[in-house]
Amino acid sequence: MIDRSMAPAEKRDLVSIEDLSTAEILELFHHADEFRANLHAWSDLCRGAIMATLFFEPSTRTRLSFESAMLRLGGGVISAADGDATSRAKGESLADTVRVVGGSYADILVVRHPEDGAARVAARYATVPVINGGDGAHEHPTQTLCDLYTLWKEKGRLEGLEVVLCGDLRYSRTIHSFCYALARFGANIVTMPYPGFELPDYVMQRLQRDYGVQTAVAAMGDLPGLAGSSNAAAYLTASKPHQLALFTKLTNVEVNRIDAIYMTRAQRERHEGEDTANYPRLTRSTMGAASTKDARVMHPLPRVDEIDYDLDDDPRSIYFRQAELGVPMRMALMAYLLGKVQLRASRPELLSIMPGMPSDVLRCRNERCITNNEGVRYLKRDFRLRADSAPPKLACGYCEREIEARFVGHAQSRVAHRYNAAEVRRTKAENRVYFESEAQAQAAGFTLAGS
């Protein structure tokens, strides 16, 4: 299974949880099991390899578990654990930092950064594999691997599980990566946001479009009555056979059981003074309800006040286990990215992206995106066109947030039409130039048809 002579065939990064197929994730779980069986047996597997952790935001578990994993694999570790102590404080770009560190300094990079899309920037500029250790509110794919692995070990499967996501669903990158993965594995998702901190529209739209998951919202107070009672709620059945439901308006549906409650802390570092005075807290009494009898309590940690310390010795509480399993899970991931473990499973299918020329006046609408922050100085804006929506959608190549292209121009004639005009259909894909608005097309020097 584990081949000591293997060299990586090509560079592969983990920026989004979608960069791994579900079959690859399951294979990685089996490798994590092998590593976990004896954590001390692998100290020559990655001998000579160096991992660099570049953390521009606070971290305890993510950085230390990566470092521990690499040391257990026999590799070495170099670490910039405090962004203020790096040349970033002098104005160095992330692109320049990773070009240098991911050269002769290190063979693999783990990057944490406050801006959405930063990990994709690192992956593009580094010549060695890059792992996203959390980029703004965007994604935290390795936390999701640990969460899924822990839940899979607890329940023996992921498909068909009923998982409740609680708290700050708006800014939690752990939630965003986790819900995409749960949807792909065919778990059911119930969202219980703290009011005002609902799952963002762009996440819900993606769940719906890419996985056929329908969306709705439940309140924390619904938890005790959610399962195992005649208080029926309504599943919104998904359009794709193996994908189920994200639901919340609890009317006319029966939920048989809750398998997991995933709590998150208020991501205050990404809020602007928003009121979290009544933030939910899981207590012994909530967990005493019949509906939560078999529910595992999960949390990516750090916990602030969202879970009573009284629940720590409850056998259903698995948050410290999630952190513990982070080491073998990250050993498996790094051994794979360094070519020491091979996966048989196919890679994920790429999103349908059609050729075309997004205009250079386009700007990502996500103010937290790296293209609107440090990247303004040097990143070329880059959008991927989604062929499967009308009006066409353009996803930012860094943070993946989408914008609508309501106007399409011809690169040579420099005439623009509404996206659904016959002239647009007659224009070759490579000649199309996309705009959000008439004003944008005109600002780029295009004439509007009929004007």
Q: Provide the binding-site residues for ligand NCD, judged by CB under 6 A.
A: 61-62, 134, 140, 143, 173-174, 264-265, 300-302
Q: How far is the CB of 379 from ligand NCD (least distance, A)?
A: 23
| Inter-CA distances, 82 with 12, 88, 218, 414, 438, Å | 26, 10, 39, 49, 45
- How many other CB atoms sit within 10 Å of the CB of residue 420? 12
**How far apart are CB 267 and ligand NCD at their closest, in Å?**
6
The phi, psi pair for 36, rounded to 5°, reads: -70, -30
Can you tell me the distance from the alpha carbon of 15 to that of 173, in angstroms, rounded to the nearest whole number? 12
Task: Specify the residue, 299 or 384, whose C-beta has the smaller distance to ligand NCD.
Answer: 299
**Nearest to ligand NCD of 120, 140 (CB atom):** 140
3-state secondary structure 108-135: EEEEEECCECHHHHHHHHCCCCEEEEEE
Q: How far is the CB of 323 from ligand NCD (least distance, A)?
A: 7
Nearby residues of 14 by Cβ (< 8 Å), 6 or more positions away: 20, 129, 130, 131, 132, 141, 142, 333, 337
Phi, psi of 85 (to 5 degrees): -95, 5
Our CB check for ligand NCD shows the closer of 176 and 401 to be 176
CB of 143 to ligand NCD, least distance (A): 5
- Least separation in angstroms between residue 134's CB and ligand NCD is 5
Q: Which is nearer to ligand NCD, 368 or 393 (CB)?
A: 368
By beta-carbon proximity to ligand NCD, the closer residue of 135 and 222 is: 135
Q: Which is nearer to ligand NCD, 17 or 216 (CB)?
A: 17
CA atoms within 13 A on the CB side of 408: 25
CB 19 within 8 A of CB 308: no
Indicate the residue among 269 and 310 with the shorter CB distance to ligand NCD: 269
**CA-CA-CA-CA dihedral for 13, 15, 17, 22, to nearest 10:** -10
Sheet holding 383-386, edge to edge: 383-386, 393-396, 402-404
CA distances from 175 to 242, 243, 326 (A): 21, 18, 17
The nearest distance, CB 58 to ligand NCD, in angstroms, is: 8
For the CB of residue 396, give the shortest distance to ligand NCD in the complex, in Å.
Answer: 20
> In angstroms, how far is the first alpha carbon of the chain from the final one?
66
Q: How far is the CB of 175 from ligand NCD (least distance, A)?
A: 9
Token pair of 402 as six digits: 């989408």
**Whose Cβ is closer to ligand NCD: residue 31's or residue 330's?**
330
